[in-house]
């Protein structure tokens, strides 16, 4: 019979008396059974099964030095498939290490990020993995975090020198832009995030490097760097393509801008509007890119791998005390895939 709400959970004592042993024998058995007679272990396990006992992990981690087995993960936007994959990668590695993840969504909100980090620490997480919102670093300083290791993913925080996993944003953008230049394009538009966003800045830099290297001037009238969502990206693409001297190719620095640009291009084709049908290079993959009405080159990468690497960095710190305390950076490669 199920009792009313708030019924006390079973404790190790109940199991002990049911099995006719002391609580310590139960504890030892559950901890692996070292130094416990096999027949007693049997009895304990039987009692555990019959009663449906679950060990209270919170009580367990109360004693000092005991890890909680929890990792706090804060990402900016779970609705973005990119971060879903990222979270999956983290979860997989955490599971392999017997850890569980506490997940929070910051929505690019600094205050929310601070709240989450505080709460995670209050819950005694063994470590933190964070896709930081660009803001400041005060709440992430070691003296605030105590001895809880932190790994940053996707972005850095200015003035914070900790383990970080990044993509090769600059290199990927450079190579993608070069591929357009190689194809003979010289009017290449840019769609991306504002420069205060870490990846926004890096991806623009790759574009800039390629253009400069080939001696092609950057025309600021076909550079739009302030679109966070599909709607804004569509509008920016529209403004560019409505110009007399519209670009013949567009470099899009992320998935949201790519989708927006393609929506606008599709609209122009359906409506029979004149003007170029620009080739696209897209940082971030998306499904069915091969079915698009204009050729789309994709700068592809693996968000799940990024998550896995972040978790690996974290657990290397947790499991190896003798590790060099210097911050490490892992920069994952990206691939340029032609249509």
Torsion sign, CA atoms 195, 82, 317, 114: positive
Work out how close the CB of 174 gets to a copy of itself at its nearest, in angstroms, rounded to a whole number: 27
Neighbours of 217 (CB within 10 A): 8
**Pairwise CA distance, residues 245 & 242, whole Å:** 8
State which residue, 54 or 291, has the beta carbon closest to DNA.
Answer: 54
Structure tokens at 292: 């698009």
Q: b/e per residue, 2-24, with b = 16+ CB within 10 A? A: eeeeeeeebebebbbebbebeee
Torsion sign, CA atoms 62, 63, 68, 74: positive
State which residue, 24 or 273, has the beta carbon closest to DNA.
Answer: 24
Closest CA to 316 of 303, 331, 328: 328
Q: Which does 28 bind (CB under 5 to 8 A by kind): a copy of itself, DNA, none?
A: DNA
Helical spans, DSSP H, in 66-149: 81-96, 110-122, 142-145
Decide: is 17 part of the binding site for DNA (CB under 7 A): no
Q: Are 267 and 162 in contact (CB under 8 A)?
A: no
**Pairwise CA distance, residues 14 & 53, whole Å:** 9
State which residue, 28 or 225, has the beta carbon closest to DNA.
Answer: 28
Q: Are 102 and 125 in contact (CB under 8 A)?
A: yes
State which residue, 17 or 335, has the beta carbon closest to DNA.
Answer: 17
DSSP 134-173: SS--GGGSHHHHTT--EEEESS--TT---EEEEE-HHHHH
Closest CA to 284 of 320, 322, 254, 315: 254
State which residue, 23 or 171, has the beta carbon closest to DNA.
Answer: 23
Decide: is 134 part of the binding site for DNA (CB under 7 A): no
Q: Which does 235 bind (CB under 5 to 8 A by kind): a copy of itself, DNA, none?
A: none
The region of 22-30, 213-221, 254-262, 274-282 touching DNA under the rule CB under 7 A is 22-30
Work out how close the CB of 265 gets to a copy of itself at its nearest, in angstroms, rounded to a whole number: 8
Work out how close the CB of 52 gets to a copy of itself at its nearest, in angstroms, rounded to a whole number: 5
Work out how close the CB of 129 gets to a copy of itself at its nearest, in angstroms, rounded to a whole number: 13
Decide: is 181 part of the binding site for DNA (CB under 7 A): no
Decide: is 272 part of the binding site for DNA (CB under 7 A): no
Work out how close the CB of 8 gets to DNA at its nearest, in angstroms, rounded to a whole number: 5
The region of 35-43, 130-138, 190-198, 232-240 touching DNA under the rule CB under 7 A is 35-43
State which residue, 292 or 332, has the beta carbon closest to a copy of itself.
Answer: 292
State which residue, 62 or 323, has the beta carbon closest to DNA.
Answer: 62
Decide: is 46 part of the binding site for DNA (CB under 7 A): no
State which residue, 24 or 218, has the beta carbon closest to DNA.
Answer: 24
Rg of the chain on CA atoms, in Å: 26
β-strand partners of 279: 249
Among 1, 5, 8, 79, binds DNA (CB under 7 A): 8
Ranges within 62-121 binding DNA (CB under 7 A) = 62-64, 66
Residues at the interface with DNA (CB under 7 A): 8-9, 11-13, 21-25, 27-28, 30-31, 35-37, 40, 55-56, 59-60, 62-64, 66
């Amino acid at each position: 019979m199920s009792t009313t709400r708030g019924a006390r959970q079973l404790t190790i004592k109940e199991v002990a008396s049911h099995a006719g042993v002391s609580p310590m024998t139960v504890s030892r058995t559950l901890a692996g059974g070292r130094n416990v007679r096999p027949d007693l272990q049997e009895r304990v396990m039987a009692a555990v099964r019959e009663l449906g006992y679950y060990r209270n992990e919170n009580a367990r981690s109360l004693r000092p030095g005991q890890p909680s087995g929890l990792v706090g993960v804060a990402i900016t936007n779970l609705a973005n498939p990119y971060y879903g994959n990222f979270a999956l990668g983290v979860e997989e590695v955490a599971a392999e290490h017997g850890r569980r993840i506490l997940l929070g969504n910051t929505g690019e909100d600094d205050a929310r990020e601070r709240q989450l980090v505080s709460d995670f620490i209050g819950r005694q997480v063994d470590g933190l993995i964070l896709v930081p919102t660009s803001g400041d670093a005060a709440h992430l300083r070691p003296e605030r975090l105590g001895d809880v290791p932190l790994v940053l993913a996707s972005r850095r925080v200015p003035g914070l020198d900790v383990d970080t996993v990044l993509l090769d944003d600059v290199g990927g953008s450079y190579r993608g832009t070069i591929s357009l230049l190689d194809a003979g394009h010289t009017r290449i538009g840019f769609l991306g995030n504002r420069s205060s966003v870490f990846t926004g800045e890096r991806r623009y830099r790759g574009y800039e490097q390629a253009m400069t290297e080939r001696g092609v001037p950057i025309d600021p009238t076909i550079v739009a760097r302030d679109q966070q969502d599909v709607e804004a990206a569509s509008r920016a693409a529209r403004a560019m393509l409505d110009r007399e001297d519209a670009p013949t190719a567009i470099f899009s620095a992320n998935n949201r801008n790519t989708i927006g640009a393609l929506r606008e291009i599709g609209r122009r084709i359906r409506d029979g509007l004149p003007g170029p049908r620009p080739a696209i290079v897209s940082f971030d993959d998306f499904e069915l890119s091969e079915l698009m009405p204009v050729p789309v080159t994709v700068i592809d990468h693996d968000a799940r791998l990024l998550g896995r690497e972040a978790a690996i960095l974290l657990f290397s710190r947790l499991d190896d005390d003798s590790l060099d305390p210097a911050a490490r950076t892992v920069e994952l490669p990206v691939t340029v895939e032609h249509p």
